[in-house]
Amino acid sequence: MQTILITGGLGQVGSYLTDRFCHDNRVIVLDNTSSPCRHEVPPGVQLVIGDIQGPEVVRLVGQADVVIHTAAQIDVNRSMKQPLFDCENNVLGTLNLLEAARQTSLKRFVYFSSAAVYGETVQIPVSENHSTHPLSPYGVSKLTGEQYALMYHRAFNLLVAVLRPFNIYSPRQDPSNPYSGVITKFIERTKTGQSPLIFGDGEQTRDFISVHDIVDLVELLVEKEEAIGKVFNAGTGKQTTVNRLAETVLNVFDSDLPLEYRQARAGDIRHSVADIGAAKTLGFVPKVSLEDGLAEFAEKCEF
C-alpha cells in the first residue's frame, strides 16, 4: 500500500483521482477549499485544509510515496487581470511542492499542466513537440511549472511525469464559474429549455476527454517507469466540432431546440486536437465515447 498525496483533491479532477486511488492506497488530500464546487472525501481519506504555498507541505510530502499535483488557479480571465495572483498559486505553489519533494525518496511526482501551454495551434494534431506560446498568464504559469518539474528531474533526479490535459469534462464541473467548459454551458441551457449558444459558425473543433480517461492515464503515469521525465498530452485524439457537441447534448435530452449563434469571440483558437501517440506507448486507450460521457454528465451533473 502506498501513500498518495493529492493536491486539490476536493476539485473536479482531484476528487475523481481520490475516489480511484483510495481503494488500494492511503490517500491524503490537501485542499484550500477555495473552489465553490467541492466534493466530500471518501471514508478513510485524510483531508488537510491548507495551501500548496503553506508550511504543511513539507510534512505532507514527507509522508507520501506519490504526489499528484492538481491544485491550481485555473481561471484564464482572472490570470489576465491578476497575473501575480496566478503566478503565486501556479508557480510558487508548485515550486514549494517540488522543493519539499526533493528532500524525499518519492516514487512519482505527477504534475498537471494544461494544453493552454501551446497557444495558437500551427500543426494539427498537436504533439508534445509543438511550439509553446501561451496566450495568457495562466498558460505561462502552467508551462513554468512544467519546466520547474522537469528541471527537478534532471538536476535532482525527482521522478516526475507531466500531463497536458485538453478539454476535460465531468458531472462535477462547477456551473457557477463563468469560465466553465462549453459542455457545462450547453447542458445547463438545454436543461432549462434554452438553446445551446454557439459563438461563431460552430465548426471550430476541440478534443473533449472524460475525467474517467484522465484518471486512467494518471494511473499509468504513476505506475510506468517509461513515464518518468516526460510530458504527455491527455486527450482522445478525436476532433469534435462545437456544432456536433451541441447536437449530441440535444440528443441526450431528446430535445429539438434550435441552435443559437452569436458573433465569434476574439482570440478563440479555431482548431485543437491532441496527438496522444506518447500516451499510447504507456498503454493508454481512451474508453469513454462523447455520447456516453455526455449521457453520464446529464444524469449526474450537480446542477
Q: Looking at residue 249, which CATH number applies to its domain?
A: 3.90.25.10
Return the CATH number at 16: 3.40.50.720
Q: What percent of the chain has pLDDT over 70?
A: 96
Provide the pLDDT confidence category of residue 106 given band limits of 50, 70 and 90: very high
Do 182 and 152 lie in a common domain?
no
As a whole number of angstroms, the distance between CA 70 and CA 3 comes to: 16
- Arithmetic mean of pLDDT, 268-275: 88
Please give the torsion angle defined by the CA atoms of residues 239, 242, 248 and 249, in that order, rounded to the nearest 10 degrees. 130
Asked whether the beta carbons of 183 and 169 are under 8 A apart, the reply is yes
Do 25 and 156 lie in a common domain?
yes
- Strand-pair partners of 188: none
Do 261 and 242 lie in a common domain?
yes
As a whole number of angstroms, the distance between CA 10 and CA 114 comes to: 19
Provide the pLDDT confidence category of residue 177 given band limits of 50, 70 and 90: low
Q: What percent of the chain has pLDDT over 90?
A: 81
pLDDT tens column, 136-154: 999 999 999 999 999 999 9
Do 54 and 27 lie in a common domain?
yes
For residue 12, how far is the Cα from the chain centroid?
8
> Is 261 part of the annotated catalytic residue set?
no
Give the pLDDT score at 152: 98
Do 7 and 113 lie in a common domain?
yes
pLDDT surpassing 70 at residue 92: yes
List, as own/partner pairs, every contact residues 223-230 make where C-beta atoms lie below 8 angstroms and the sequence separation is at least 24, other chains included: 224/282, 224/283, 226/281, 226/282, 227/108, 227/161, 227/282, 228/108, 228/153, 228/159, 228/160, 228/161, 229/150, 229/153, 229/154, 229/159, 229/160, 229/161, 230/161, 230/162, 230/278
What is the H or E stretch that residue 104 is in? none
Give the pLDDT score at 180: 58
pLDDT surpassing 70 at residue 296: yes
As a whole number of angstroms, the distance between CA 68 and CA 108 comes to: 8
Q: Is 230 exposed, middle or buried (0-12, 13-18, 19+ CB in 10 A)?
A: middle
Give the pLDDT score at 298: 82
Do 22 and 129 lie in a common domain?
yes
Do 44 and 106 lie in a common domain?
yes
pLDDT tens column, 60-88: 999 999 999 999 998 888 899 999 999 99
pLDDT surpassing 80 at residue 108: yes
Count how many domains the chain has. Answer: 2
As a whole number of angstroms, the distance between CA 94 and CA 142 comes to: 9
pLDDT surpassing 90 at residue 279: yes
Q: Which residues of 69-95 are buried (b: 16+ CB within 10 A; e: fewer)?
A: bbbbbbbbebbeeeeeebbebbbebbb
Do 79 and 128 lie in a common domain?
yes
- Arithmetic mean of pLDDT, 191-209: 94
pLDDT tens column, 5-26: 999 999 999 999 999 999 999 9
Single pTM value for the model: 0.94
**Count of CB atoms within 10 A of residue 283's CB?**
13
Asked whether the beta carbons of 249 and 103 are under 8 A apart, the reply is no
Do 219 and 201 lie in a common domain?
no
Do 95 and 14 lie in a common domain?
yes
What is the H or E stretch that residue 125 is in? none
Do 38 and 159 lie in a common domain?
yes
pLDDT surpassing 80 at residue 175: no
**Count of CB atoms within 10 A of residue 240's CB?**
16
Do 252 and 152 lie in a common domain?
no
Among residues 16, 111, 118, 138, the one annotated as catalytic is: 138
**Which amino acid would we find at residue 214?**
I
Beta-strand pair 108-112/208-210: unpaired
Q: What residues make up the domain containing 88?
A: 3-167+208-234
